[in-house]
């Protein structure tokens, strides 16, 4: 099957590309390499994947690449993901996440792609939710422009389904972690803390450390993408473990699983403005309609990350 993966040199995207190559698909990667790394694709490129260095904000170039690839499935992961940067420059954030998504949708529709699988965010959309775990039908109350732009991108996906009949689905991720992760965004704390273990440094905890997140390992997220591509369900679907883990519990889990290095006592810093206190996704729709649920528990996932840093 022919596939296009935007943002395919990034953390989640490159793991997805590897899985597509492993099952025999032909993959074209689109990435501007601003945060993605060519080295993440070494294995995939050696197995026949193609890399086109381009920015999703360049609608003309995106159309040319997708028209040349003529994919059956487009996995759209390219995005501006830095929450703090979105606050500092919301127009640039919207340019990448909204106009970039429109460019991908337009090209996919024009070349007759069967389906677009859009990567979105859970905690970034729901904000301080009144219901924990939070289902997809809860009010959308983002605390940063990043969440607002991803919600707008979801809306355009659903519009293209209604208006043009283009099959789309948006996967709202929890806090994804795993191999190749950069310390970008909230989920990057796992990469940062694992680096602390290897380098023997004390982790920094913002606030009291009791804030919770729904950490989900990247291999589970990749599997959700593959299942979503093969199905026909539309709209938003939460992708997480459906369990809260606090920052302090994460540190405790790291202390339990480390086979090398040392984990110093955490040092505490002031709360960061706008940080969500509790975040956890209700994942019943993914279980019912995709046949998906997370398989990797936090300790197992941490072992994998640490092994890659050894």
- Shared domain for 152 and 22, answered yes or no, is yes
Q: What is the reported pLDDT for 261?
A: 57
Residue 185 reports pLDDT greater than 70: no
Query: In whole numbers, what is the pLDDT of the chain averaged over residues?
Result: 94
* pLDDT at residue 262 in the model: 62
The CA–CA distances, whole Å, from 95 to 100, 176, 194 equal 7, 24, 33
**Does 260 share its domain with 164?**
no
CATH code: domain of residue 304: 3.90.25.10
**In the chain, where does DSSP find H-type helix?**
11-22, 42-46, 59-69, 83-88, 90-94, 100-110, 123-126, 145-164, 189-199, 218-230, 247-257, 284-285, 298-309
Enter the DSSP assignment of 273. T
One domain for residues 126 and 11:
yes
Q: Which of 126, 146, 160, 173 is catalytic?
A: 146
Looking at the fold, whether 163 and 185 belong to one and the same domain comes out as no
For residues 260 and 232, membership in a common domain is answered with: no
Task: Please tell me whether residues 118 and 234 are part of one structural domain.
Answer: yes
- Are 260 and 301 contained in the same domain? yes
pLDDT of residue 195 exceeding 90, the answer is no
* 146 belongs to the catalytic site: yes
Q: What pLDDT, on a 0 to 100 scale, did the predictor assign at position 249? A: 95
- Domain range for 114 is 2-173+217-240+283-290
pLDDT tens digits along 46-93: 999 999 999 999 999 999 999 999 999 999 999 999 888 999 999 999
Asked if residue 255 and residue 128 are part of one domain, the reply reads: no
93 & 207 share domain = no
Q: 119 and 173 in contact (C-beta within 8 Å)?
A: yes
> Do 105 and 197 belong to one domain?
no
- Tally the C-alpha atoms within 13 A of residue 6's C-alpha that lie toward its C-beta: 33
- Does 193 lie in the same domain as 85? no
Mark whether 257 and 123 lie in a shared domain: no
Counted domains in the chain: 2
> pTM for the whole thing?
0.95
């Amino acid at each position: 099957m022919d596939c296009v993966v935007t943002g395919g040199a990034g953390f989640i995207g490159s793991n997805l590309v590897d899985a597509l190559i492993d099952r025999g698909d032909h993959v074209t990667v689109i990435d501007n390499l601003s945060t993605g790394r060519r080295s993440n694709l070494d294995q995939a490129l050696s197995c026949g994947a193609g890399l086109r260095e381009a920015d999703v904000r360049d609608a003309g170039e995106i159309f040319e690449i997708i028209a040349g690839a003529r994919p059956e499935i487009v996995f759209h992961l390219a995005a501006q993901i830095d929450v703090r940067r979105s606050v500092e420059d919301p127009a640039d954030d919207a340019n990448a996440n909204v106009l970039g998504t429109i460019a991908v949708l337009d090209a996919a529709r024009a070349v007759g792609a069967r389906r677009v699988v859009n990567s979105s965010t859970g905690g970034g959309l729901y904000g301080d939710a009144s219901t924990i775990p939070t289902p997809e039908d809860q009010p959308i109350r983002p605390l940063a422009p990043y969440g607002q732009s991803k919600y707008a991108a979801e809306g355009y996906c659903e519009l293209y389904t209604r208006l043009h009949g283009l099959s789309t689905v948006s996967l709202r991720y929890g806090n994804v972690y795993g191999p190749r992760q950069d310390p970008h965004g909230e989920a990057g704390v796992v990469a940062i803390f694992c680096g602390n273990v290897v380098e023997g440094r004390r982790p920094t905890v913002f606030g009291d450390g009791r804030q919770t997140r729904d950490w989900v390992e990247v291999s589970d997220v990749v599997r959700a993408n593959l299942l979503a591509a093969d199905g026909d369900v539309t709209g938003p679907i939460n992708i997480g473990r459906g369990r809260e883990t606090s920052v302090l519990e994460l540190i405790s889990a790291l202390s339990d699983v480390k086979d090398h290095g040392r984990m110093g006592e955490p040092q505490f810093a002031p709360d960061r403005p706008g940080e969500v206190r509790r975040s956890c996704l209700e994942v019943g729709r993914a279980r019912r309609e995709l046949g998906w649920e997370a398989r990797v528990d936090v300790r197992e996932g941490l072992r994998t990350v640490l092994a890659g840093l050894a």
